[in-house]
């Protein structure tokens, strides 16, 4: 049974904490005061990854290769947030976001902070954002879905009234504001703190490098690993077959996400294990399943395909 709330469009975007939830729908009222913006998943891509590092600044350099071949070609900025024992990796086009903000009539000088829905709504199961769509917590990932797929939800403006923004604000590289004297002094303080942070991070990095070097030496000694470059290259050669399999997996993942979708169609779920993809796609209409069967059959072996209303469930594999 769905929870019912009175729905007010203006409340959708405003809260006592000056929070605005930004989707691709136009805002029908002016924004006069300074505000914080929470971006819909429509403005970014996200993946969960386990990485051999401890800190977010160490994880960020992995982002470009993680998203390579799985998102449309373009120029992206990347962002990493540590969550439990994993990292949430983000890719986003800051120029597109800024252009959309400008189109909606919001001036850059009115914005204090920008956040992703992923970091701010992680504690909610489902949030209705308009009469047709909701944000759903799908195994720890916040995604847009049709409202018909959600049984229980809370309305977005009720969330905005009570939420306290996290520390994970997003920096946009072309974000600019007209500076008054107070803003200038604030930026000087921020620069000073950033300098301290750089030195602190440099010190931490050097200590981490020393620790890793000592650990590597211990591993060589404990496991009787060769120390000569010739012997090490021999071991690397034996691992090339593993590398080839990873390259093949990346190529097939790219083929999968290159499948042409109609407007309002999207992947609800994608899982991969042992050369098989288990995917779920929301289609405009059930007969679109024939199109996907034809497209997937060109590159994949189709192990199963079922249609439930507008939802296509299929298992694909490759050799």
pLDDT in tens, 183-229: 667 888 899 899 988 888 888 888 888 888 777 777 766 766 666 66
pLDDT in tens, 84-115: 889 999 999 988 888 888 888 788 778 889 99
pLDDT for residue 149 is more than 80: yes
Asked if residues 296 and 279 have their Cβ atoms less than 8 Å apart, the reply is no
Asked if residues 117 and 38 have their Cβ atoms less than 8 Å apart, the reply is yes
- The answer to whether the Cα torsion of 138, 143, 148, 154 is positive or negative is positive
Rounded to whole angstroms, the Cα distance separating 221 from 132 reads 62
pLDDT for residue 265 is more than 70: yes
Query: 28-33 contacts: CB < 8 A, separation 24 or more?
Result: 30/105, 31/105, 31/106, 31/110, 33/110
Q: Which pLDDT belongs to residue 6?
A: 46
Q: Which pLDDT belongs to residue 17?
A: 46
183: its two tokens: 């803003």
Residues 6+ apart with CB under 8 A from 75: 93, 95
Query: 5-9 contacts: CB < 8 A, separation 24 or more?
Result: 5/128, 5/154, 5/155, 5/158, 7/128, 7/131, 7/155, 8/157
Q: Which pLDDT belongs to residue 12?
A: 46
Q: Which pLDDT belongs to residue 246?
A: 84
Asked if residues 302 and 289 have their Cβ atoms less than 8 Å apart, the reply is no
pLDDT in tens, 107-140: 877 888 999 999 999 999 999 998 899 999 998 9
Q: Calculate the average pLDDT of the chain.
A: 83
């Amino acid at each position: 049974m769905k929870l019912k709330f009175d729905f007010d469009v203006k409340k959708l975007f405003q809260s006592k904490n000056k929070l605005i939830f930004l989707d691709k729908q136009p805002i029908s009222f002016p924004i006069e005061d300074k505000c914080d913006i929470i971006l819909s998943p429509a403005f970014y891509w996200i993946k969960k990854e386990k990485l051999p590092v401890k800190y977010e600044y160490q994880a960020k350099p992995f982002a470009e290769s993680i998203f390579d071949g799985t998102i449309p070609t373009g120029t992206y900025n990347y962002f990493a947030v540590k969550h439990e024992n994993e990292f949430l990796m983000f890719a986003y086009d800051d120029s597109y976001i800024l252009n959309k903000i400008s189109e909606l009539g919001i001036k850059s000088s009115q914005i204090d902070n920008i956040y992703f829905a992923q970091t701010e709504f992680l504690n909610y199961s489902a949030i209705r954002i308009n009469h047709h769509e909701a944000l759903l917590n799908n195994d720890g990932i916040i995604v847009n879905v049709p409202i018909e797929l959600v049984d229980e939800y809370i309305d977005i403006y009720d969330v905005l009234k009570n939420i306290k923004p996290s520390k994970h604000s997003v920096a946009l590289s072309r974000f600019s504001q007209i500076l008054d004297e107070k803003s200038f002094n604030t930026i000087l303080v921020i620069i000073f703190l950033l300098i301290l942070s750089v030195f602190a991070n440099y010190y931490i990095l050097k200590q981490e490098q020393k620790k890793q070097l000592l650990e590597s030496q211990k591993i060589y000694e404990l496991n009787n690993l060769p120390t000569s470059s010739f012997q090490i290259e021999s071991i690397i050669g034996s691992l090339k077959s593993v590398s080839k399999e990873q390259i093949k997996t990346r190529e097939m993942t790219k083929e999968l996400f290159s499948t042409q979708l109609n407007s309002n169609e999207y992947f609800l779920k994608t899982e991969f294990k042992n050369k098989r993809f288990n995917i779920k796609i929301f289609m405009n209409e059930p007969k679109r399943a024939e199109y996907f069967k034809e497209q997937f059959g060109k590159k994949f072996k189709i192990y199963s395909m079922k249609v439930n209303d507008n939802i296509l469930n299929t298992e694909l594999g490759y050799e």
